[in-house]
Amino acid sequence: MLTKTTWVNGDTVKWNTSYSDYPSSAWTLTVYLNGSVTGSFTGSAASDGVGFNVTASAAITGALNTGSYQVIEIATSGSERYTLSTTSITILPNPVTIDNGYDARSHVRKV
């Protein structure tokens, strides 16, 4: 299950996950990233024989706007499908391309 809940736009994010009831030898893990702003991807995790190695590449995270997202891990085998986890994450701005006028305070703090 994903434990890193803060990602930086443009960074590669990797994690390993395994579920004893859904071994990678018999199941496929698909990861969905759904956000409150534009940007989402669907990617399959690579099997390591027991669990899954998941990568969100720099190109994938770099295409996302800052904001809140959900990472959803779904296992499938044949006609069976199970949602295994849903994790809320935050995408932060890319520090390399950030605008000089960017204000990192929350909306509440700005008001």
* Residue 22: closest CA among 97, 75, 60: 75
Q: What is the rounded CA–CA span in Å between residue 79 and residue 21?
A: 16
The more confident residue out of 88 and 37 is 88
Question: pTM for the whole thing?
Answer: 0.81
Q: Per-residue pLDDT tens for 20-71?
A: 999 999 999 999 988 866 555 777 788 888 899 999 999 989 988 889 999 9
102: left (phi over 0), alpha (psi -120 to 50) or beta: beta
How far apart (Å, rounded) are the C-alpha atoms in residues 52 and 26?
12
d(CA 42, CA 29): 11
Q: d(Cα 89, Cα 100) in Å, to the nearest integer?
A: 25
Q: How confident is the model at residue 102 (pLDDT cuts 50, 70, 90)?
A: low
What is the reported pLDDT for 39?
Answer: 55
